[in-house]
């Protein structure tokens, strides 16, 4: 597009007066300038770099499958976490919820031989939702920051798993092969588990964008006090965000069991921090109010892919961790810088008008 | 005052009361507002105006009394209920969602829907556009609320109220942060709404606005209804008398003080895009007023002098020695004190006790072996609080439970404890009631009399004219006039405050 170059100086105005642009140009700007697009670009660069170094990273039988399959669990968690963070809360208990429902999945297959796989999936979802409800109720009525509440339930839920499982371990042989097949099955080369995660992502993303309830979640995160004055049902919305996050973590637990085949009491330990990291990298503001689940999903894929790509690129262990850390910090710094710049532009345009 | 029984009152409150625990915030509030009229609500701080408003808004529930809306008794237990009944409240600080678009802010919670309960964004943008057109303002419906001026934010709130088809629109000190032009625009919009037959209530501390905009005015005092007057039939003196229950002889009692040597010398201070070539001096015993429209750069100049913000070129000299750029610590050590505009956020640790606040700046001098004890703090703070008549039974009281006037005094006490030679004070009496205002003015005048140099920023013209020995007028980051007390008139100051605007365009 040759027009883009000549119109470049106008981008500043475009930020300020979006309505003066044609609808198509507006849509183009929205996509190209979005955080999601830039994070997607980083992902592409990472994949490309790894592929150049080791072509089998992308061009081998299993690599395409792994690229999609490995992030599926984190993707589910990140979607739920994003919704919670958008409301200016955080859910640190998702790793423990995942561990609990992963173990539950195994127990159900052992204690009820022949149980329907769908029933197990729904059970995981419901148990996760219940645990999320506990989080939500404590946050909504306890008037205690969600960081503290969910840090507490992180330990409590994990304690339940430890007591329940002890040193027992669920092995692949305990679970029906039909269930384990789900972990590897593909439809048109796309892993089923990834499709599950994708369906969840699209449903949540659509809801956040087009439903009143979804927009209210953004409003609550943007300014909780204002939301109260608007007459929004803040507490109810926040509780439902936690229920969703719990339910998705519960589902992720079932997916975990299907994917790895073995579940011990420490399944999913520490994954909550990865979920938060994915959300932050994906451009969801840590203080709520902005960002999308699309970004969080790309962030999850990026985080997992980077962890796989860095060893291939020959980067030592320490630097791998440090690089992920740098990515998180730069995402937040970028957020601050972009926000400050946007605010300044908006204020300047006000003064000039 | 005549009250006809069969009236068209949109809002009729009679003998409404409200207590918070032991504290009675509202003893007996009454307010009657007719359709198609603008009703001003005035009273000192703590008179119960805000409580009254919050009862109508559904934020608080009244203790007793009657609340009628269009003749029907109502009892709101939430803001959603009052909103549904057609009451819209615009608070002092507009409550918008900065991350969301202007349009989403207007329609939040009741977005227009198309098939399948999907939000119909196109319809909302169109609706927002027509709302803004109806109000005669130009705001892009797609831009985020972030970065909007307070004036524009209020317009958004008003647009919201109109889209709700509110019968009753209540504005709590809407003009507190607006410049002259913005106030005019707001008034135009308010009159338009009145002519549409809506009822408007606005709280204000500025009498000129009450008389410019109001049709009726209700005065409250100490949580009680005092009187309702037709604006055309009353005058400022009468209203002030009703508010304070006695006559206030002189609101701005600046006494002549002996002018000494130059204390502060500012030379060619420039910060690109903020202010340019600012040069002036303040002498001992002198109060220099920094006047101008909101956003002209007055606060920014003050912040740069004190070292909160840095600047690109120029020098600041205090008592003969230069003050380094960007170091409030050095400025304090050199003898500067700075009382910012937003005392809750910048001047006061509201969760701490009065003693701790007052002792805060001098705590380095109070420590013994690096430790700070409460008794030392109390001992240091006591005389200052007493001298300023801070009405706090104990110094242990938390600052956030005090009135705005007392908070301001605590902030002043805090800085006086450092024995400054220059006091910079930004909007010393914003949001402070008439009596406390006079006390603050008397205090500043006394301090100047003791040889303190004072640089006072104020948006209230009468305050500047009454208090300042010299008025510096700032316009678009430049000092456009230096007017001695004798020649300062509202006209000369306003002309200087707007002149370069005209010259630049």
Residue A32 lies in a domain: no
Q: Is residue A288 located within the same domain as residue A353?
A: no
Q: What is the pairing mode between strands B23-34 and B199-203?
A: unpaired
pLDDT at res. B503:
45
Query: Minimal Cα–Cα distance from A283 to chain B, Å?
Result: 13
| Residue of B92, B145, B146 for testing the chain A interface, max A β-carbons within 10 Å | B146
Q: Is residue A349 located within the same domain as residue A202?
A: no
Q: Is residue A132 located within the same domain as residue A269?
A: yes
**ipTM confidence:** 0.81
- Exposure string over B222-243, b if 16+ CB within 10 A, otherwise e: ebbbbebbebeebeeeebbebb
Instruction: Over range A67-86, report the average pLDDT.
Output: 93
Q: What is the pairing mode between strands B287-292 and B470-475?
A: parallel
CB pairs under 8 A between A and B: 96
> How far apart, in whole angstroms, are the C-alpha atoms of residue B11 and residue B146?
34
> Is B147's CB within 8 Å of A342's CB?
yes
Q: Is residue A291 located within the same domain as residue A321?
A: no
> How far apart, in whole angstroms, are the C-alpha atoms of residue A253 and residue A268?
8
Residue B75 burial (CB count, 10 A): 10
Residue A237 lies in a domain: yes
Q: Is residue A206 located within the same domain as residue A117?
A: yes
Most confident of the ranges A154-158, A178-182, B152-156, B245-249: A154-158
Residue A3 lies in a domain: no
> How far apart, in whole angstroms, are the C-alpha atoms of residue A65 and residue B2?
84
A329 lies in which domain range? 317-353
Instruction: Write down the mean pLDDT value for chain A.
Output: 86
Q: Is residue A138 located within the same domain as residue A240?
A: yes
Count up the domains in chain A and report the number.
Answer: 2
DSSP 8-state assignment for residue B430: T
Write out the two tokens for A315.
């980067």
Residue A24 lies in a domain: no
Q: Is residue A251 located within the same domain as residue A342?
A: no
Q: Is residue A143 located within the same domain as residue A276?
A: yes
φ and ψ at residue B226, rounded to 5 degrees: -110, -55
What digits encode the pLDDT tens for the residues A94-126? 999 999 999 999 999 989 888 888 899 999 999
Q: Is residue A240 located within the same domain as residue A332?
A: no
Question: Looking at the predicted structure, is the pLDDT value of residue A6 above 50?
Answer: no
Q: Is residue A304 located within the same domain as residue A322?
A: no
Q: Is residue A229 located within the same domain as residue A331?
A: no
Q: Is residue A178 located within the same domain as residue A305?
A: yes
Would you write out chain B's pLDDT as a tens digit for each of its 505 residues?
444 444 568 888 888 888 876 667 788 888 888 888 999 998 766 678 888 888 888 888 888 888 888 888 888 888 888 888 888 888 776 788 988 999 999 988 888 888 778 888 889 999 898 888 887 788 888 888 887 877 788 888 888 888 888 889 998 878 766 777 778 888 888 898 899 888 999 888 677 788 888 899 998 887 888 889 888 888 877 887 787 665 444 556 677 777 888 889 999 888 877 888 899 999 998 999 988 776 678 888 988 998 888 888 888 988 888 888 888 888 888 888 888 776 655 556 555 666 666 666 665 555 555 555 666 666 666 666 665 555 544 555 665 556 666 677 777 777 777 788 899 988 887 767 667 777 788 888 888 888 889 999 987 777 888 888 899 988 878 888 898 888 887 777 777 776 644 444 3
Residue A144 lies in a domain: yes
Residue A13 lies in a domain: no
> How far apart, in whole angstroms, are the C-alpha atoms of residue B10 and residue B199?
7
> Is B97's CB within 8 Å of A347's CB?
no
CB B487 within 8 A of CB B315: no
Choose the closest CB to B140 out of A17, A222, A228: A17
CB A39 within 8 A of CB A295: yes
> Is B109's CB within 8 Å of A350's CB?
no
* Nearest chain A residue to B139, by CA: A17
Q: B100: which chain A residues are within 8 Å (Cβ-Cβ)? A: 215, 218-219, 222, 289
Residue A25 lies in a domain: no
What digits encode the pLDDT tens for the residues A10-30? 334 444 566 777 777 777 777
> Is A285's CB within 8 Å of B99's CB?
yes
**pTM over the 0.80 mark:** no
What digits encode the pLDDT tens for the residues A274-329? 999 999 989 898 888 889 999 999 999 999 988 888 888 888 888 888 888 888 88
> How far apart, in whole angstroms, are the C-alpha atoms of residue B103 and residue B124?
7
Q: B131: which chain A residues are within 8 Å (Cβ-Cβ)? A: none
Instruction: Over range A133-144, report the average pLDDT.
Output: 91
Residues 6+ apart with CB under 8 A from A26: A18, B142
Residue A59 lies in a domain: yes
């Amino acid at each position: 597009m040759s027009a883009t170059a000549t119109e470049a100086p106008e981008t500043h105005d475009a930020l300020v007066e979006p309505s003066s642009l044609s609808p198509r140009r507006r849509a183009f700007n929205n996509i190209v300038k979005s955080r999601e697009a830039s994070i997607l670009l980083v992902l592409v660069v990472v994949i490309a770099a790894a592929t150049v170094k080791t072509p089998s990273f992308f061009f081998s039988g299993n690599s395409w499958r792994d690229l999609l399959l490995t992030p599926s669990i984190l993707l589910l968690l990140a979607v739920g976490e994003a919704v919670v963070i958008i409301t200016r809360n955080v859910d640190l208990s998702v790793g423990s919820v995942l561990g609990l429902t992963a173990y539950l999945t195994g127990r159900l297959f052992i204690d009820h031989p022949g149980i329907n796989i769908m029933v197990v999936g729904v059970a995981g979802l419901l148990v996760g939702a219940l645990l999320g409800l506990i989080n939500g109720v404590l946050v909504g009525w306890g008037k205690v920051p969600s960081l503290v509440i969910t840090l507490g339930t992180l330990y409590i839920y994990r304690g339940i798993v430890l007591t329940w499982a002890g040193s027992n371990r669920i092995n692949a042989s305990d679970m029906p092969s039909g269930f384990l097949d789900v972990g590897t099955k593909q439809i048109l080369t796309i892993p089923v588990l990834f499709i599950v995660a994708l369906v969840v992502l699209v449903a949540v993303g659509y809801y956040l964008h087009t439903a009143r309830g979804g927009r209210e979640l953004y409003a609550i995160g943007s300014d909780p006090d204002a939301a109260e004055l608007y007459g929004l049902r803040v507490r109810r919305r926040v509780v439902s965000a936690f229920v969703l996050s719990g339910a998705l973590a519960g589902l992720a637990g079932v997916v975990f069991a299907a994917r790895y085949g073995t579940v011990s009491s420490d399944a999913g330990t520490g994954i909550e921090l990865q979920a938060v990291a994915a959300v932050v990298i994906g451009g969801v503001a840590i203080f709520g109010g902005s960002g999308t689940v699309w970004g969080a999903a790309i962030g999850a894929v990026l985080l997992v892919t980077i962890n796989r790509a860095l060893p291939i690129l020959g980067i030592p262990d320490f630097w791998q961790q440090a690089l992920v850390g740098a990515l998180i910090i730069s995402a937040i710094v970028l957020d601050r810088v972009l926000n400050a710049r946007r605010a300044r532009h908006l204020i300047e345009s006000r003064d000039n008008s | 005052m005549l009250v006809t029984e069969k009236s068209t009152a949109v809002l009729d409150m009679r003998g409404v009361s409200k207590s918070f625990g032991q504290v009675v915030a509202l003893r007996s509030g009454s307010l009657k507002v007719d359709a198609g009229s603008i009703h001003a609500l005035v009273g000192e701080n703590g008179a119960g105006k805000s409580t009254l408003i919050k009862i109508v808004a559904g934020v608080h529930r009244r203790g007793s009394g009657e609340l009628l809306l269009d003749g029907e008794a109502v009892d709101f237990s939430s803001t959603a209920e009052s909103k549904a009944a057609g009451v819209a409240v615009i608070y002092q600080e507009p409550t918008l969602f900065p991350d969301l678009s202007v349009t989403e802010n207007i329609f939040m919670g009741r977005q227009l829907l198309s098939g399948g309960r999907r939000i119909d964004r196109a319809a909302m943008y169109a609706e927002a556009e027509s709302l803004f057109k109806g109000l005669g303002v130009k705001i892009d419906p797609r831009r985020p609320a972030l970065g909007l001026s307070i004036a524009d934010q209020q317009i958004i709130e008003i647009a919201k109220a109109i889209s709700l088809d509110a019968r009753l629109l209540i504005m709590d000190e809407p003009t507190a942060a607006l410049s002259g032009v913005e106030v005019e625009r707001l008034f135009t919009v308010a009159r338009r709404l009145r002519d549409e037959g809506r009822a408007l209530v606005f709280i204000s501390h500025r009498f000129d606005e009450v008389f410019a905009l109001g049709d009726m005015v209700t005065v409250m005092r100490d949580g009680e209804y005092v009187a309702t007057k037709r604006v055309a039939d009353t005058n400022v003196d009468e209203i002030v008398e009703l508010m304070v229950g006695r006559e206030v002889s002189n609101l701005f009692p600046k006494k002549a003080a002996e002018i000494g040597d130059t204390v502060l010398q500012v030379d060619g201070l420039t910060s690109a895009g903020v202010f340019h070539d600012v040069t002036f001096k303040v002498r001992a015993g002198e109060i220099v007023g920094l006047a101008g429209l909101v956003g002209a750069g007055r606060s920014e100049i003050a912040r740069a002098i004190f070292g909160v913000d840095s600047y690109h070129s120029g020098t600041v000299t205090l008592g003969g020695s230069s003050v380094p750029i960007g170091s409030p610590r050095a400025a304090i050590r050199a003898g500067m004190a700075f009382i910012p505009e937003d005392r809750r956020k910048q001047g006061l640790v509201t969760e701490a006790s009065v003693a701790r606040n007052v002792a805060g700046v001098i705590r380095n001098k109070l420590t013994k072996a690096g430790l700070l004890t409460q008794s030392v703090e109390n001992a240091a703070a006591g005389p200052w609080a007493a001298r300023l008549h801070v009405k706090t039974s104990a110094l242990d009281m938390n600052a956030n439970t005090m009135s705005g006037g007392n908070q301001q005094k605590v902030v002043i006490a805090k800085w006086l404890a450092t024995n400054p030679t220059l006091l910079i004070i930004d909007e010393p009496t914003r949001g402070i009631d008439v009596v406390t205002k006079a006390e603050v003015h008397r205090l500043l005048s006394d301090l100047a009399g003791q040889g303190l140099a004072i640089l006072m920023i104020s948006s209230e013209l009468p305050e500047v004219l009454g208090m300042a020995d010299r008025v510096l007028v700032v316009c678009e980051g430049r000092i456009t006039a230096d007017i001695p007390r004798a020649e300062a008139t509202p006209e000369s100051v306003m002309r200087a405050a707007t002149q370069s605007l005209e010259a630049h365009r």
